């Protein structure tokens, strides 16, 4: 009887750990492409500060973690009466940088991610063919006390709508949109290299499907 109770307790502990791990990833709600948010003619454009804004990324595999940044090349946020109505942002996929490595290891990872290595162009983002990605707002709403940003994310000509929590604020002529850390399933954008859900017999030589993202966006009134 004692062994049985211990077994049940062990199972419950594993279930709690698995649930906690899943929650910690904070995966963005991902759906099909949605209609872009309508912008009133009275809205004011805020131009994205590409020098100050950045997207932080993190990928994991059994043997370790890699992380770094990607830059925005341009973007506009439409603001009306102190509220964001719409916006579109272009992501420079040729700007992928690894911050956890140095030297040849850093160069090798960045080249592999961008797809500039001959024969491995399609493993990840294939920037020669798809040099940019885009994010276009489809709405901002309040859910459970949090501001939720939704938009169509296009990578490698594949578009899905994602929703994630973020803090939006205004100071003088500048606005900021700072997201919480969230995760997207890269395979939904055909970024399939090393995915156990796509390829069999990878053993422990796989890369997690979830890619963690955090956005820091700053824009100034035009």
What length is written for the chain? 222
Q: Looking at residue 6, what is its pLDDT?
A: 41
Work out the average pLDDT over 30-52.
97
Helix (H, G, I), strand (E, B) or coil at 195: coil
What domains are there in the chain, each with its CATH number?
28-221 (2.40.128.110)
Sign of the CA dihedral 106, 108, 113, 116? positive
pLDDT grade for 8, boundaries at 50, 70 and 90: very low
138 vs 209: CA distance, rounded Å: 25
pLDDT tens readout for residues 210-219: 999 999 999 9
- Contact criterion met (CB below 8 Å) for 110 and 124: no
17-31, 81-95, 120-134: which range is least confident on average? 17-31
pTM over 0.85? The answer is yes
pLDDT tens readout for residues 103-146: 999 999 999 999 999 999 999 999 999 999 999 999 999 999 99
182 vs 168: CA distance, rounded Å: 16
- By CB atoms closer than 10 A (0-12, 13-18, 19+), residue 206 is middle
């Amino acid at each position: 009887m004692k062994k049985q109770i211990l077994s049940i307790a062990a199972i419950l502990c594993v279930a709690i750990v698995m649930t906690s791990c899943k929650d910690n990833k904070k995966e963005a709600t991902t759906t099909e492409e949605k209609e872009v948010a309508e912008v009133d003619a009275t809205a004011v454009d805020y131009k994205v500060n590409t020098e100050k804004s950045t997207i932080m990324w993190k990928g994991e595999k059994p043997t370790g973690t890699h992380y770094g940044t990607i830059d925005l090349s341009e973007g506009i946020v439409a603001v009306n009466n102190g509220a964001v109505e719409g916006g579109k942002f272009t992501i420079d996929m040729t700007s992928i940088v690894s911050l956890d490595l140095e030297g040849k290891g850093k160069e090798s990872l960045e080249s592999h991610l961008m797809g500039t290595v001959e024969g491995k162009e399609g493993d990840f983002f294939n920037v020669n063919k798809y040099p940019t990605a885009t994010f276009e707002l489809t709405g901002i709403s309040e859910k459970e006390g949090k501001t939720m940003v939704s938009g169509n994310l296009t990578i490698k000509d594949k578009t899905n709508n994602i929703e994630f929590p973020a803090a939006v604020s205004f100071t003088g002529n500048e606005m900021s949109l700072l997201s919480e850390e969230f995760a997207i399933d890269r395979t939904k954008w055909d970024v399939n290299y090393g995915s156990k859900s796509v390829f069999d017999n990878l053993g422990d030589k796989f890369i997690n499907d979830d890619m963690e993202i955090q956005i820091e966006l700053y824009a100034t009134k035009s």
